[in-house]
A and B are shown apart, each in its own frame.
Chain A
Amino acid sequence: MGVEGIGARVARKEDKRFITGRGRYVDDVKVIGLTHAHFIRSPHAHAKVKGIDASAAKDMPGVVDVLTAQQLVDDKIGNLICGWAVSSKDGTPMKMGAWPAMAPDTVRFVGQAVAVVIAETKNQAKDAAEAVVVEYEELPAVSSMTTALAKSAPQLHPEAPGNVVYDWAIGDEKQTNDAFSKAANVVSLDLTNNRLVPNAMEPRAAVAEYDEAEEHFTLHTTSQNPHVARLVLSAFYNVAQEHKLRVIAPDVGGGFGSKIFIYPEEMVALWASKKVRRPVKWTGDRTEAFLTDAHGRDHMSHAEMAFDANNRILGLRVKTHANFGAYMSLFSSSVPTYLYATLLSGQYNIPTIYAEVMGVYTNTTPVDAYRGAGRPEASYLVERLMETSARQLKVDPAELRRINFVTQFPHQTPVIMAYDIGDFGASLDAALKAIDYSGFPARKAKAKAAGKLRGLGFSCYIEACGIAPSKAVGSLGAGVGLWESAEVRVNPVGTIEVLTGSHSHGQGHETTFAQLVAGRLGISVDQVQIVHGDTDKVQFGMGTYGSRSAAVGMSAIFKAMEKVEAKAKKIAAHLLEASEGDIVIENGEFKVAGTDKAIALPMVALAAYTAHNLPDGMEPGLKEGAFYDPTNFTFPAGAYICEVEIDPGTGKTDIVDFVAVDDFGRLINPMIVEGQVHGGLAQGIGQAMLESAVYDDNGQPVTASFMDYAMPRADDVPSFRVSHTTTLCPGNPLGVKGCGEAGAIGSSPAVINAITDALGHNKIEMPATPGRVWEALQLRQAAE
């Protein structure tokens, strides 16, 4: 495979420009005649817009125009869409209220835009925005699901009576109830999965240009999936035609899901560029990011697990309420249903599952996919339930898991997913060994002598990546196929460009994708350039999310490479006067096996382009494309163990050890994989101990800045101990599963299980801040 092929710890090619400040982000884009947009946003969580008076603002220095929501309506610009149709259990389609990019008559969350000022400078736009008078008539707001579902609660959308979007279910209710009626033991748990703000380092931004003569738009935007952005902007929003719109997502400073969606601001910038006949830039600030980037999680669940007398699981019953915020964001409907409830079987043999999910509107920022998207919520529920069960049934938590592990593959769960392969026992064993499980009681006693409370918690998570088989997701309501495309261009001099439809915004594709190509041909990664993020260059693509880039995106490259190699071998065989079947590729050369006859890749490439001496009937050139549609999801899984120590005086919890053993299938670049795991763990630990988006009773955000929203810092996380066990994924040619989200999916339950172990009771919710842990300790003392 060569020193830079698959499995090598190649340093990231893209880091040179990132760490020297030479990255090129959307806000770096400068074009002649650029104007700047500043949005006027609702200060109210729920209000009628009675009128907008922009007359004074229009006369202010530098103001180009002030555009209001009504003009969007007049121009017949489409409402934002939700791309996944989910039906309630009674068969009715989900009940969705309209979401205009700017609100003409009603605002439904703090930060929703009602108008936009376009000016020569950003500061002039902000000055003018203060002179725009918006008259609101405040309406009562609902900021929590409990209040939204109460009788006589204020209603958000006439289309969704009772503020309910859908009441969905999966699994067999009767069979599950029967299992519970036969159970020797039933364990139940109520849990909250806290709302998170994605907080990518780079805020969202857009630079829109309109070429009047060509009737052509160019949009630079912070997107994880520029082709999907183009498709949605043209097919649904009526802003531009697909062949007259180029979308470029250049360097993007993190997404974590939040940059999948097509937001109002980007769409308004595009529309405005035609209206004012000038290029328009909008760069969000951190406050706008807090208010308008789609939030993540926000579930309330009740879960019950039934066991037989031998502690084998008989069934699982779950009732979840999922907060969608004020509007249905692009993929929001799928997150608490097909991305969540389908993973409720965890790593376990559960004969029957019944899960109900009610989607609820509230006067808060819309909620959508965020690193893990549904799967963290599932693993948090299953793994907290397993730990609680072990304590209640008085079994060792590792043992309870082990006797219930799925061990035969493929394994069909009762909730759609069919696990292809795994070895859950192997990762648990490795984790137990790494943490020195048998030494824990001694460590706990030692901590106690020092006045500290020690606890240990497990999480044996499974998730589904590599989304997804297009036919399967289509049958579940998805509005798109989830294949990926690739094109491999061998240049006449033998260097290679790979065009991919997946997008790199921190994942390191420019390195890992090059490793695949370099390894197959035996050349250096420097000979390979990865091209992505531009709809004018790349054929089409579905983008990057759901840890799909290796399993789906690289598999497409693999297929294209096979085609390129097949053609190159034909040319080499022709030039070497050998038979095609005898040609092997080694160290950048095409060799006749068993001889010293060889021809270097550049010579083969040159021959393809000069076309002076090609096999009869062969087309010139050396460039091949492929589309890859996966046959199944992939199933990364692993065992995490967290050990904590609580200071009872302050409630401060220190993570003293954290062991993560993951099975990601084949590792393309172990160094990058470790980085992905570290980042994911930090996000999961952030959710467990620090982060929480909070609204007051009037729907005002309480945590709209880093002064109140606690992001994990380096000293909040321990030095992780990361290792791997491996079962190769049989579903794709590379044997890869995906590693981008696992850390965020598996870690939160391990942390909370460790904290509840130290506390000696279960009464704590995420984030387990020092204040909450201290309150929980007082409960314990009161009980004693």
Chain B
Amino acid sequence: MYETTYHRPASIDEAAALFAKHPDAKYLAGGHTLIPVMKQRLAAPSDVIDLARIKDMIGIEATADALIIKAATTYYDITQSAAAKKAIPAIVHLTSVLGDPAVRYRGTIGGSIANNDPAADYPAAVLALNATIKTNKREIKGDDFFQGLFSTALEDNEIITSVSFPIPAKAGYAKMRHPASRFALTAVFVAQSKSGEVRVAATGASQSGVMRVPAIEAALKANWSAGALDGVNISADGLMGDIHGSAEYRANLIKVMAQRAVEAAS
């Protein structure tokens, strides 16, 4: 690791002000992405601004229409939240199969979304549930937020403050874990909104990151059942292929995971 200066601001505004002063700074949340890359000397922020201790950035609340998770809330806290379990059990399930206990104690939903790893779990939920990302500057719709591998609509200094998930009629998540990293080899989030809209997102599969799956959305719109997907064909074009699975295998997984997510949906 290169030398760096650590800051622990007390508020979101203070964090943003610190960032303005140090143009080569990085925000730090759970550190489960940022710290490993710093250790490998692949990132060299002059300053590290810790968001994880800011009280206004931690907490979970559910209204009649939405589950709102503040950005620095850890995965562990999400798995333990009665409000989250009641509002969107699929989110809690997704969180419980994310990483391992050490990762879950530290990692945060904001960090995960800001990082937009093409095999991360949360982006699938954000996209399928049509969530809104709130920052210290604006609100960004899920559809506009993810912009390919490790790239998002966030500006350099922008801080995600919370994520608001509309409560769906039904939602489910099924994940095939990568044998080594335990990220998603391919995972699928299916959701039916209260107005009947069906949205399906797959992560870990595409060469360009998290994606919607229109063929599955159409089939489920017509008939919300696992069996409705039997005849759906997913093309392997544009999907990732590597030593852990060919593009064809991932195409198969999109369908199989979607079926299992529908079966698990509640």
Asked if A pairs with B, the answer is yes
Q: Are A770 and B245 in contact (CB under 8 A)?
A: yes
| Chain-A contact segment, one of B58-66, B85-93, B150-158, B246-254 | B246-254
8 Å CB interface, A745-784 against B: 769-771, 774-775
Q: Are A707 and B252 in contact (CB under 8 A)?
A: no
| Chain-B contact segment, one of A161-169, A504-512, A515-523, A644-652 | A644-652
B260 — which chain A residues lie within 8 A by C-beta? 649
Q: A652-B176, A690-B179 are in contact. Are A708 and B249 (CB under 8 A)?
A: no
Q: Which residue of B lies closest to A647 (CB)?
A: B256
Q: Are B179 and A774 in contact (CB under 8 A)?
A: no
Q: A690-B179, A706-B180, A710-B180 are in contact. Are A769 and B41 (CB under 8 A)?
A: no
CB of A55 within 8 Å of the partner chain = no
8 Å CB interface, B24-49 against A: 40-41
B253 — which chain A residues lie within 8 A by C-beta? 650
Chain B min CB distance to A285 (Å): 9
B180 — which chain A residues lie within 8 A by C-beta? 690, 703, 706-711
Q: Are B3 and A123 in contact (CB under 8 A)?
A: yes
Q: Are B246 and A775 in contact (CB under 8 A)?
A: yes
Q: A123-B1, A710-B180, A774-B249 are in contact. Are A694 and B243 (CB under 8 A)?
A: yes
CB of A126 within 8 Å of the partner chain = yes
8 Å CB interface, B106-133 against A: none
CB of A702 within 8 Å of the partner chain = yes
- B189-221 near A? 1/0 per residue, CB < 8 Å: 000000000000000000000000000000000
Q: Are B3 and A710 in contact (CB under 8 A)?
A: no
Q: Are A710 and B179 in contact (CB under 8 A)?
A: yes
CB of A676 within 8 Å of the partner chain = no
A381→B245 CA distance, assembly (Å): 26
A449→B249 CA distance, assembly (Å): 24
Q: A649-B256, A650-B256, A708-B181 are in contact. Are A769 and B176 (CB under 8 A)?
A: no
Q: Which residue of B lies closest to A769 (CB)?
A: B179
B1 — which chain A residues lie within 8 A by C-beta? 123
Contacting B41 at CB < 8 Å: which of A126, A649, A690? Answer: A126
CB of A389 within 8 Å of the partner chain = no
A525→B171 CA distance, assembly (Å): 60
Chain A min CB distance to B239 (Å): 12
- A252-270 near B? 1/0 per residue, CB < 8 Å: 0000000000000000000
A770 — which chain B residues lie within 8 A by C-beta? 176, 179, 185, 245
CB of B7 within 8 Å of the partner chain = no
CB of A692 within 8 Å of the partner chain = yes
Chain A min CB distance to B3 (Å): 7
- B1-28 near A? 1/0 per residue, CB < 8 Å: 1110000000000000000000000000
Q: Are A707 and B181 in contact (CB under 8 A)?
A: yes
Q: Are A692 and B243 in contact (CB under 8 A)?
A: yes
- B168-189 near A? 1/0 per residue, CB < 8 Å: 0000000010011100010000
Q: Are A650 and B176 in contact (CB under 8 A)?
A: yes
Q: Are A703 and B243 in contact (CB under 8 A)?
A: yes
Q: Are A771 and B245 in contact (CB under 8 A)?
A: yes
Chain A min CB distance to B216 (Å): 15
Chain A min CB distance to B115 (Å): 14
Chain A min CB distance to B233 (Å): 14
CB of B244 within 8 Å of the partner chain = yes
8 Å CB interface, A507-548 against B: none
A127 — which chain B residues lie within 8 A by C-beta? 2
Chain B min CB distance to A143 (Å): 14
8 Å CB interface, A551-595 against B: none
A649→B181 CA distance, assembly (Å): 21
B2 — which chain A residues lie within 8 A by C-beta? 123, 127
8 Å CB interface, A690-725 against B: 690, 692, 694, 702-703, 706-711
For A126, A651, A711, A771, which residue has the most chain B Cβ atoms within 10 angstroms?
A771
A710→B256 CA distance, assembly (Å): 23
8 Å CB interface, A86-108 against B: none
Contacting A774 at CB < 8 Å: which of B40, B41, B252? Answer: B252
A–B complex contacts, Cβ < 8 Å, 7 sampled? A650-B253, A706-B180, A708-B180, A709-B180, A710-B179, A770-B245, A771-B244
Q: Which residues of A contact B (CB under 8 A)?
A: 123, 126-127, 287, 649-652, 690, 692, 694, 702-703, 706-711, 769-771, 774-775
Instruction: List 6 other contacts, CB 8 Å, given A650-B253, A703-B180, A774-B252.
Output: A649-B252, A690-B180, A707-B180, A709-B180, A710-B179, A771-B244
